[in-house]
Structure 1
Amino acid sequence: MTSWSPRARPKAGTPEEQARDPLFVRSIARAADVMAAFHKCDAPLTLAEIAAAAGMGKSTAQRFVHTLRQLGYIERDPTDRGFVPGLRLLDHSLDYLRLNPLVERATPILLELRRNVRERVDLSLLDDLRVVYAARNQSKRETFFATLVGHSVPTFCASGGRAMLALLSDAEVEDILARSDLKPITVKTITDPDAIREKVREARELGYALALEEVVPGEIAIGVAITGPDGRPVAAIHVAGSLSEWQPEDFAQRFAPLAQSAARAISRA
């Protein structure tokens, strides 16, 4: 499986637009750039690596890293090989999850769904070109990344991502595909735009999307979209199982109706 770092940032505008914005605080944006350097790393980062990833000089990066260390947002790696994100960041993750009304409404419904299906049940949130997992209710077999809240995958290949694309207009789907980096995560990831469009059309007809080994080898996943008050997709339920235990048709027949019912309940709430 290839490595993918799907961490999107809010659209902050061009440097020219930022300079014209009297409320935009550039130093905060640069601190965010320093923290974003860790999105693509698989190991602690040196100061030079942080500076390069953040697009700033080493002396400037040193000041930002020092300040963020003092505040608890960056720490030295225990083996002293470089810097890693600090524990204080988890406070903000908790704040986001506990204050997000969708996550609050969805949690008891997801727990009940997990009890019924006895497979992994996830909640993902739509963030343009990626879906971000905000809740993960595990089954008996998991890889490490599949247990982590905050992990994300491309919208174009996630079952929940395609379920949400199915509720968008063709023009919006085309825009997302045009801006997506259509690189495979596994050897089974569908990256051909025409094939992805066909999967989106299939999801529109069925009311759910099915993905086979596109994110995790050996995994089958069903995605069902959750809509907001305006009827637009905002999140998705994923039910994931093992192809060593399920045939795709049996998996879909067994779990799609349950996932759809849960998604409708969350959407109504």
Structure 2
Amino acid sequence: MDTSQKRSKRSSAQADSPEDQGDVDGRLFVGSMEKGMRVLELFNEHPSTLSIGDIAQHTGMGRSAAQRFVYTLHRLGYLSKDSESKKYLPSMKLLGLVRGIHRHHPQRELAYPLLEKLARETRETVSWVELDGDEVVVLLNIPGSHITAINLPAGSRFPALTSSSGQVLLSQAPQAQLLKMLDALPPEMRARFGSRSRSEVLSIFRKAAEDGHSFTEKNFGDDGVSVSVPVTDFSGRPIAALNISTVRSRYSIAQARELILPRLERAAREASI
């Protein structure tokens, strides 16, 4: 997915989101900080070293402005510079910010052994996924041990509506919210629902709520099978999804339902508050 063309909105469940604050207050909004963060975001969209020229091109900044932002981020320790190519890449200091995020969400840390156990038992890729606006984000991931394992590194983003994780996370969402998200889907993503009508798409989410899980099939080079179940808070509200991703050459949906789903459901119950 091209995140350079689409900036994701944060979930309404998260504090201090732009939507909660209304229109941007130009007296308080620091445009230069936005540009600096845009430079850092580039390294997620383009996972390789980048030159100042690359950064200027991808951000639309002038070369001089890009050079100033890169210099500042380098001096602050958030970018490292390759001594031979003179190109830049994210530094280890950024991991401290990631650690801070996880520290404020201890449930993820507590769930990690459950993910490890699932990965050992199934040898498939296991992920902890959360909703971020109209996308889902992989926050914890243990890769499968098969040669053809599906790779979903932490930080990966996917449209929520068309993913099994998104379908369980949005299973209690209001119909109006789902329809708004559906209308905003790019045509190539909308095509994943085939010829289904709007009401038929909504029924997918009702079924996910009734069943307590969701299956999807996608093409990841090998035909992918994805199954997700919700992790809930004390009120039963989905706050995350546990996901196992495999390939159809090893599991059909029927086989995944029989052999993978019970293990996934058991882990999700243990991870829920």
Which interval holds the TM-score relative to the shorter structure? 0.7 to 0.9
Within-5 A mapping of 1:217-232: 217-232=222-237
Tell me which amino acid in the other structure corresponds to 1:137. Answer: I
139, 151, 160: which is aligned to 1:146? 151
Within-5 A mapping of 1:169-184: 169-184=174-189
Within-5 A mapping of 1:95-174: 95-141=100-146, 146=151, 148-174=153-179
Match of 1:260 in 2: 265
**What is the Cα-based RMSD across aligned positions, in Å?**
3.2
Tell me, yes or no, if structure 1 residue 20 matches structure 2 residue 27.
Answer: yes
Q: CA deviation at 1:149?
A: 1.6
Q: CA deviation at 1:43?
A: 4.2
The unaligned stretches of length 5 or more in structure 1 are none
Deviations 1:145-201 (CA, angstroms, capped at 9, x unpaired): 82522222221222111111222121221222233435359xx94466736434323
Match of 1:46 in 2: 51
Secondary structure of the corresponding residue to residue 50 of structure 2: coil
Tell me, yes or no, if structure 1 residue 4 matches structure 2 residue 2.
Answer: yes
Q: CA deviation at 1:79?
A: 5.6
Within-5 A mapping of 1:10-89: 12=18, 17-21=24-28, 24-41=29-46, 43-77=48-82, 80=85, 82-89=87-94
Structure 1 residues 25, 122: closer, same or farther in 2, change over 3 A? same
Is 38-47 or 220-229 further displaced after alignment? 38-47
Q: TM-score, normalised by structure 2?
A: 0.80
Secondary structure of the corresponding residue to residue 25 of structure 2: helix
Q: CA deviation at 1:104?
A: 1.9
Q: CA deviation at 1:16?
A: 7.0
Tell me which amino acid in the other structure corresponds to 2:25. Answer: Q
Q: CA deviation at 1:127?
A: 0.8
Tell me which amino acid in the other structure corresponds to 2:208. Answer: A
Tell me which amino acid in the other structure corresponds to 1:19. Answer: G
Whether the 8 Å contact between 1:168 and 1:232 is mirrored in structure 2 is no
The number of aligned residues is: 262
Structure 1 residues 52, 143: closer, same or farther in 2, change over 3 A? farther
Within-5 A mapping of 1:169-248: 169-184=174-189, 189-190=192-193, 194=197, 196-214=201-219, 217-248=222-253
Q: CA deviation at 1:238?
A: 0.4
Structure 1 residues 189, 229: closer, same or farther in 2, change over 3 A? same
Tell me which amino acid in the other structure corresponds to 1:168. Answer: A
Whether the 8 Å contact between 1:120 and 1:137 is mirrored in structure 2 is yes
Q: CA deviation at 1:123?
A: 0.7
Structure 1 residues 264, 176: closer, same or farther in 2, change over 3 A? farther
The unaligned stretches of length 5 or more in structure 2 are 11-16
Tell me which amino acid in the other structure corresponds to 2:2. Answer: W
Q: CA deviation at 1:73?
A: 1.6
- For residues 78 and 143 of structure 1, the distance between their equivalents in structure 2, rounded to whole angstroms, comes to 36
Structure 1 residues 245, 215: closer, same or farther in 2, change over 3 A? closer
Q: TM-score, normalised by structure 1?
A: 0.81
Tell me which amino acid in the other structure corresponds to 2:267. Answer: A
Structure 1 residues 25, 191: closer, same or farther in 2, change over 3 A? farther
